[in-house]
Amino acid sequence: MSTPNPLPFGFRVVQAMARFLLRLLTRLELEGLDRMPQAGPAIICPNHVAWTDPVLIFAYVRGPTTVFAAEKWERRFPVNLLMRYLGHAIFVQRGEVDRQALGRALEILKQGGILGVAPEGTRSYTGVLGKGHDGAVYLASRTDAAIVPAAIWGHEDVIRQWLRLRRPRICFHVGEPYHLPAEARRARSGDLPAYTEDLMRRIAAMLPPENRGPYA
């Protein structure tokens, strides 16, 4: 069995630059960063509000992390190169069950890797938490990976605030890692929504009430 992806050459340098720029351009409120996994199997599960979400995750991961990305980014230079090199991206076909992507993700977790998965499956353009999908808990149920909920808010209109020469206040909170119960290893598709509900409520609990959506 092969080993998880190592950190790419220059990763820490680029990561330090990302942190510097975030500190320079925003007012960051960080909480629970020590809960970010250094090794897996683990799945980091943030809400997905803006294009800056992957930047925040990248800036503060503690170990090599593979991310899911929409297939549209696979053809957009230079984002595609950055995602492949720095995030070992798995490009996912939207609107269907991408079994090839799921297979790659399962293999990474079984090798002790770390995944970044937004359980909403797509970006929320309102800043409000959307309905969760079962992909993250399915992967955790088959690999006993730790699930690390995370919540990000305050960056929904970051470009507009920068144009007004303002430094937006962005909050990035990482929750307590947890594991699904032992019986989840035998879970069928009909059992997964309950585990997804629990995950989404853990994320919602870290968000302001007005951002919790159906999980308020």
Say how far apart CA 175 and CA 160 lie, in whole Å.
29
Q: Determine how β-strand 90-92 pairs with β-strand 146-153.
A: unpaired
- What are 90-142's pLDDT values in tens digits? 777 665 567 888 898 999 999 999 999 999 988 887 889 999 999 999 999 99
Q: Indicate whether 115 belongs to any domain.
A: yes
78: domain CATH number is 3.40.1130.10
Q: Indicate whether 12 belongs to any domain.
A: no
Range(s) of the domain holding residue 134: 40-174+185-211
Q: What percentage of the chain reaches a pLDDT higher than 90? A: 54
pLDDT at 1: 39
What's the total number of domains in the chain? 1
Instruction: Say whether pLDDT at 177 is over 90.
Output: yes
158, 52 Cβ separation under 8 angstroms:
yes
Q: Indicate whether 154 belongs to any domain.
A: yes
When pLDDT is cut at 50, 70 and 90, the band that residue 194 belongs to is very high
115, 65 Cβ separation under 8 angstroms:
yes
